[in-house]
Structure 1
């Protein structure tokens, strides 16, 4: 039984070493493709439960998307299965250095965060005609105890997750 556990540990160790060292073969090619995609401009997509004519009437997008201006490329297409319309947005300027993107994310000035927030707000405007704020009106007054929750809610608007 010990030789079975030892053999499994050796195989797992070899797989980890190959992944870390970027060994030859199909796996490393896939890893390189994933890395190339990460550094390129990423499409952010939201599905809206409305026909395309109601998403951008007269070619005009809702204010959150229109506020991004010429810095982004926007595509509107039918959603799969006839379930509304997809709005796809990405930066026009292409790839950015990962270190710069990480610094911008920490300071709250990452363009991807602005795109996600604009997509979310545009979807809400198109579907309900108002932007819903999970943190407004506050049910309590600001205190040091509820500050972490307030900060997480504020960050969730840009990142899309809580």
Structure 2
């Protein structure tokens, strides 16, 4: 490739990147905020093993019932007939704007709390209890760099989902 062709290709790549960045910023502002990771509609969903008639949204499982009227809940057949989709979203979704990353890191992110409640509700519906892993069954971990990192991930994981 000649230097002229290289320069043209580099310019085209930068222009393409600028277009993609522009489109993403427009979509982020139309959705629930940059960095929130939530769909624009605000619905968070889990697939529960069982028929829709078995998963009744009227008596909400305890983790979702705690939200009361602050959430909307719906159930429907999961895609491909693979169980039931249990979905919930916050009625007041104005909290997803600027500062959502700071709220998420501080542990006070309402969207992450709802995501965690949905996962616990799924466990209650499928198994009958919320399953928890005890990260240190034989006492405290040794204060090694790996142990400290694992402890930090364990503290954050229930709020943010799978890490």
The interval holding the TM-score normalised by the smaller chain is 0.7 to 0.9
**Displacement of 1:80:** 1.7
CA contact (8 A) 2:32 2:96 kept: no
The TM-score normalised by the length of structure 2 is 0.80
Structure 1 residues 106 and 33, CA gap change in structure 2 (3 angstroms): closer
Name the counterpart of 2:154: 153
Gaps of 5+ in 2: 34-39
Residue 154 of structure 1, CA deviation = 2.3
Q: Is the 8 A contact 1:116 1:158 kept in 2?
A: yes
**TM-score in terms of structure 1 length:** 0.81
Q: Secondary structure of the equivalent of 2:75? A: strand
Report the alpha carbon displacement of residue 34 of structure 1 after superposing the two structures with TM: 4.2
- Misfit runs of 4+, over 4 Å: none
* 1:9-158 alignment, distance < 5 Å: 9-20=10-21, 22=22, 28=23, 31-39=25-33, 42-56=42-56, 59-96=58-95, 98-136=97-135, 138-145=137-144, 146-158=147-159
Q: How many residues align?
A: 154
Q: 2: distance between equivalents of 1:69 and 1:93?
A: 13
Q: Secondary structure at the match of 2:119?
A: helix
Tell me if the contact between 1:41 and 1:92 (Cα under 8 Å) persists in the aligned partners.
no
CA distance in 2, matches of 1:95, 1:66: 21
Secondary structure, aligned partner of 2:152: helix
